[in-house]
Chain A
């Protein structure tokens, strides 16, 4: 099981990856730039994402907005920014492949001549509204900001969210955009994946015509950030928010993306909180009815990950009860290990999820996006099978070992989010934090 591909690297450093899938007359065009909010500096947070918006506002040779010709050609398109990368994609009918390559290459090479103050000011307002809609006006919307600030020192680029601080977004300048583009938006820092109803050689030829003329083979320097020192005492934080039910977030530093122990922790999260048979769901929601929502995840990123459990208290129940039950469940899993039945289930689900991922050529998580993810983060677009192997190799014993190593009580950060005016509902000893 894999995603067969061909790779061709241009002189300017751009990787072109092609995967043929002739089932449907569409083709996915997917571009990754190896830049995200971790390339920002304190005081200018949110910039990588604001920049992503400007990539849709026109480039030198087509300065009328990026969406118009592509939507008219039947494309679905979008982009996104996270801490480690920025991606852009179109899914087009096969006859619009050349149009999509024209558009992607024009903004890769010729964005700046079309940039204006008016566009910049407009998209700054749009991004501030995105921040209001998705964080400020949403229940528990500030929790992730508080947690990132707690997990990382202010100098570490994972201490801020990709959306950034509102004041920083307001402080961004047009000159910053130029410098950012020149540093990061170059072929040598990008990867182009094409997947769908295309012939490999013809697709590479066409992409070479459009992207070959662009300059910029140099790769920007990697982000240097020392891993935060493992904490020796747990920390408890408190956030008041416009919510009805208290919620606790419990997080630990964890392995980086594709790193040692990463797959184990993915499956630990699965056994703890995925589906009704998971340990925490069964115990906290199903049997004791003390929680009304529950989630666990291993969030792995290039410079390091964090493992997080989130539980919302049922009315009348306390966060202290939830915290105790969660700690007990982790202890039991570490002490006794997962049962054979749990291993069978979580590995079957993991394997099935790899197959489900093969269903679409484009969009977020489609085959073109996966090829680029593997190429950018591992340097091997064919990593699919090895990635799956990471999960096949996990054993009950390795899950115990990894749980014991990483999910220790003294390394926890516990964040209580409680209704405004009800700080007494937080876990005992929690320190108020301010985020906005």
Chain B
């Protein structure tokens, strides 16, 4: 049969997706255990979520939360660091630890037959880290070295300057890694205290997903974490209570990198918290504006102008208002032209060129039809579940996602663009060669560029 190349084939009905069932229970010590069965491969994944991240760093000690989480796999319980990692290797374990503004997440996957061992090791790391001086000094030194190396990494410089200028002393104003001054002075005692006060069972959610029954997964977690007794009462930490900083007066800042091959750009302002009722509208808005390849920003800056390898926007949804930001690395010679185009696109979606019916349809379709992909592996499902726990989202969050996105209409998107994007507040940060950029900067009409000093 000859196929028809005159038109694209119709898609037909969307396949139905059975959402994985999450069973929830709470241990006597307050720790939440969520289980998900996923029988595709003989693996299990344990994810421990603590809703404490870099934003819980004491004001004078940026980097403490990340330093603390980095110490967890430096020996725990009966095992020193080398014994711990030897054991992890021998059970085929994959350990991953990450820290963001609002959360610390440890994930340990292993072969199903080692599930008990894996969950016991994860519990030991969280409940009984050794926190020994020799390990502390080494880890601190490695983190300081990492900071030194970041001086040459343009994306890291841009991220750091952008957060600092937007948030100032607000807990979102620093990178999880912290600063050299802070890491130089941090003590093991501070790390121990942070661990003791922040790592408590009532704060924690453990998501166990994989090739075992709900009951078996839950029993595994309970036997590992059930005897955890907090040493202190958990103090409430609620980022949404922190007052947001005022809009910075400067609109334009440049960090000079002599002879840089490109200019690293960040353009944005403080956005909105994850729990906003407009979450789904903002997803659609962002997909049209800059969230994916075919979005306006990328089609303009990359596919039309060739200024960059790629440009994206995002609303960085956090417990409190995270940034709305455009990221791109552009050829030095066209830095100002690229910023002009980017600002123009951000401005336009609020009114002059609001989202069209075709864009709305394509954006919603992409988000909803692509949704099943997020439920393929045990670890993906665990991470999805962790979002529910971290942001306190409703139990039916997954099953209502598609209808909520499909309910977004053009007016809602345009209204959201007007409400959540404010061109007059946008801050533009350039990390690049000032000499190739400076002469054209006045064309931006963003006032005098403040010159940033390398940290």
A residues whose Cβ falls under 8 Å from a Cβ of B: 21, 23-26, 60-62, 65, 67-69, 71-76, 91, 93-96, 98-99, 102-103, 106, 110, 121-126, 128-130, 132-134, 136-139, 197, 209-210, 213, 242-245, 275-277, 282, 285-286, 289, 292, 312, 314-315, 341, 344-346, 348-349, 351-353, 355-356, 358-361
B91 with A23: CB separation less than 8 A: no
Bound CA–CA A286/B5 (angstroms): 61
Q: B235 contacts the other chain (Cβ, under 8 Å)?
A: no
Bound CA–CA A187/B145 (angstroms): 50
A72 with B365: CB separation less than 8 A: yes
Q: A29 CB to closest chain B CB, in angstroms?
A: 13
Bound CA–CA A23/B381 (angstroms): 13
B369 neighbours in A (Cβ, 8 Å) = 72-74, 93, 96
A314 neighbours in B (Cβ, 8 Å) = 141, 145
**7 interchain residue pairs of minimum CB distance:** A74-B369, A352-B92, A125-B306, A25-B15, A74-B370, A136-B261, A61-B5
A61 neighbours in B (Cβ, 8 Å) = 5-6
A355 with B90: CB separation less than 8 A: no
User: A133-B262, A352-B111 known; 19 other A-B pairs, CB under 8 Å?
Assistant: A21-B40, A24-B372, A24-B375, A25-B17, A61-B5, A62-B8, A75-B370, A93-B372, A94-B15, A110-B5, A125-B305, A130-B309, A132-B309, A197-B15, A244-B148, A276-B85, A285-B142, A345-B86, A358-B40
Q: B356 CB to closest chain A CB, in angstroms?
A: 13
Q: A312 CB to closest chain B CB, in angstroms?
A: 8
A243 with B40: CB separation less than 8 A: no
Bound CA–CA A272/B147 (angstroms): 26
B293 with A67: CB separation less than 8 A: yes
A353 neighbours in B (Cβ, 8 Å) = 92
A94, A106, A139: which contacts B5 (Cβ < 8 A)? A106
Given the known A-B contacts A277-B89, A344-B90, are A65 and B262 also in contact in the complex, defined by CB atoms under 8 Å?
Answer: no
Chain B contact residues: helix, strand, loop or mixed: mixed
B110 neighbours in A (Cβ, 8 Å) = 352
Q: B13 contacts the other chain (Cβ, under 8 Å)?
A: yes
Q: Which residue from chain B places its CB closest to the CB of A419 in the assembled complex?
A: B152
A126 neighbours in B (Cβ, 8 Å) = 302-303, 306, 308-309
Given the known A-B contacts A26-B376, A355-B111, are A345 and B89 also in contact in the complex, defined by CB atoms under 8 Å?
Answer: yes
A71, A121, A244, A355: which contacts B149 (Cβ < 8 A)? A244
B5 neighbours in A (Cβ, 8 Å) = 60-61, 102, 106, 110
Q: Interface size (B, Cβ < 8 Å)?
A: 77
B141, B294, B377: which contacts A71 (Cβ < 8 A)? B294
Given the known A-B contacts A121-B306, A277-B89, A292-B145, are A67 and B8 also in contact in the complex, defined by CB atoms under 8 Å?
Answer: no
Q: B394 contacts the other chain (Cβ, under 8 Å)?
A: no
B73 neighbours in A (Cβ, 8 Å) = 276
Bound CA–CA A356/B361 (angstroms): 36
B372 neighbours in A (Cβ, 8 Å) = 24-26, 74, 93
Q: B329 contacts the other chain (Cβ, under 8 Å)?
A: yes
What are 27 of the A-B contact pairs (CB < 8 Å)?
Answer: A61-B6, A68-B362, A71-B362, A71-B366, A72-B361, A98-B9, A99-B9, A122-B306, A126-B303, A126-B306, A126-B308, A126-B309, A129-B306, A130-B309, A132-B261, A138-B153, A243-B152, A244-B152, A275-B85, A286-B138, A345-B86, A348-B91, A352-B94, A352-B111, A356-B43, A359-B40, A361-B376
Q: B182 contacts the other chain (Cβ, under 8 Å)?
A: no
Q: Which residue from chain A places its CB closest to the CB of B13 in the assembled complex?
A: A95
Bound CA–CA A21/B376 (angstroms): 11
B329 neighbours in A (Cβ, 8 Å) = 129, 132-133, 137
Given the known A-B contacts A24-B372, A68-B294, A68-B362, are A276 and B81 also in contact in the complex, defined by CB atoms under 8 Å?
Answer: yes
B92 with A76: CB separation less than 8 A: no
B residues whose Cβ falls under 8 Å from a Cβ of A: 1-3, 5-6, 8-9, 11-17, 40-43, 73, 81-82, 85-86, 88-94, 109-111, 138, 141-142, 145-146, 148-149, 151-154, 260-262, 264, 292-294, 302-309, 329-331, 361-362, 365-366, 368-373, 375-379
A137 with B262: CB separation less than 8 A: yes
B82 with A102: CB separation less than 8 A: no
Q: Which residue from chain B places its CB closest to the CB of A72 in the assembled complex?
A: B362
Q: Which residue from chain A places its CB closest to the CB of B371 in the assembled complex?
A: A74
Q: Which residue from chain A places its CB closest to the CB of B370 in the assembled complex?
A: A74
Q: B294 CB to closest chain A CB, in angstroms?
A: 5
Given the known A-B contacts A275-B89, A276-B85, A355-B42, are A102 and B306 also in contact in the complex, defined by CB atoms under 8 Å?
Answer: no
A244 neighbours in B (Cβ, 8 Å) = 148-149, 151-152
B109, B307, B371: which contacts A129 (Cβ < 8 A)? B307
A95 with B153: CB separation less than 8 A: no
Bound CA–CA A292/B86 (angstroms): 20
B86, B88, B152: which contacts A139 (Cβ < 8 A)? B152
B2 with A137: CB separation less than 8 A: no
B14 neighbours in A (Cβ, 8 Å) = 93, 95
Q: A407 CB to closest chain B CB, in angstroms?
A: 22
Bound CA–CA A93/B16 (angstroms): 10
B149 neighbours in A (Cβ, 8 Å) = 139, 243-245, 292, 312
A292 with B142: CB separation less than 8 A: yes
A245 neighbours in B (Cβ, 8 Å) = 145, 148-149
B376 neighbours in A (Cβ, 8 Å) = 23-24, 26, 359-361
Bound CA–CA A260/B296 (angstroms): 50
Q: Which residue from chain B places its CB closest to the CB of A135 in the assembled complex?
A: B261
Q: B256 CB to closest chain A CB, in angstroms?
A: 13
B366 neighbours in A (Cβ, 8 Å) = 71-74
A136 neighbours in B (Cβ, 8 Å) = 261-262
B3 with A213: CB separation less than 8 A: yes
Q: Which residue from chain B places its CB closest to the CB of A141 in the assembled complex?
A: B261
B89 with A286: CB separation less than 8 A: no
Bound CA–CA A352/B118 (angstroms): 14
B302 neighbours in A (Cβ, 8 Å) = 126
Bound CA–CA A124/B1 (angstroms): 39
Bound CA–CA A353/B138 (angstroms): 29
A26, A125, A137, A359: which contacts B43 (Cβ < 8 A)? A359
B261 with A73: CB separation less than 8 A: no
A345 neighbours in B (Cβ, 8 Å) = 86, 89-90
A349 neighbours in B (Cβ, 8 Å) = 89, 92
B16 neighbours in A (Cβ, 8 Å) = 25
Q: Which residue from chain B places its CB closest to the CB of A282 in the assembled complex?
A: B82
Bound CA–CA A103/B303 (angstroms): 19
Q: Which residue from chain B places its CB closest to the CB of A61 in the assembled complex?
A: B5
Given the known A-B contacts A74-B365, A129-B307, A285-B142, are A95 and B261 also in contact in the complex, defined by CB atoms under 8 Å?
Answer: no
A359 neighbours in B (Cβ, 8 Å) = 40-41, 43, 376-379
Bound CA–CA A211/B85 (angstroms): 49
Q: Which residue from chain A places its CB closest to the CB of B3 in the assembled complex?
A: A209
Bound CA–CA A14/B376 (angstroms): 29
A133 with B309: CB separation less than 8 A: yes
B303 with A122: CB separation less than 8 A: yes
Q: B258 CB to closest chain A CB, in angstroms?
A: 9
B94 neighbours in A (Cβ, 8 Å) = 352, 356
Given the known A-B contacts A72-B366, A346-B89, A355-B111, are A139 and B153 also in contact in the complex, defined by CB atoms under 8 Å?
Answer: yes
B305 neighbours in A (Cβ, 8 Å) = 125
B145 neighbours in A (Cβ, 8 Å) = 245, 292, 312, 314-315
Q: Which of B91, B92, B138, B361 has the most CB of A within 10 A?
A: B92
Q: Which residue from chain A places its CB closest to the CB of B41 in the assembled complex?
A: A358
B92 with A132: CB separation less than 8 A: no
Q: B449 CB to closest chain A CB, in angstroms?
A: 20
Q: Which residue from chain A places its CB closest to the CB of B92 in the assembled complex?
A: A352
Bound CA–CA A121/B305 (angstroms): 10
A24, A60, A129, A277: which contacts B82 (Cβ < 8 A)? A277
Q: Which residue from chain B places its CB closest to the CB of A350 in the assembled complex?
A: B92
B154 neighbours in A (Cβ, 8 Å) = 137-138
B261 with A137: CB separation less than 8 A: yes
A129, A138, A289: which contacts B141 (Cβ < 8 A)? A289
Q: Which of A76, A128, A312, A359 has the most CB of B within 10 A?
A: A359
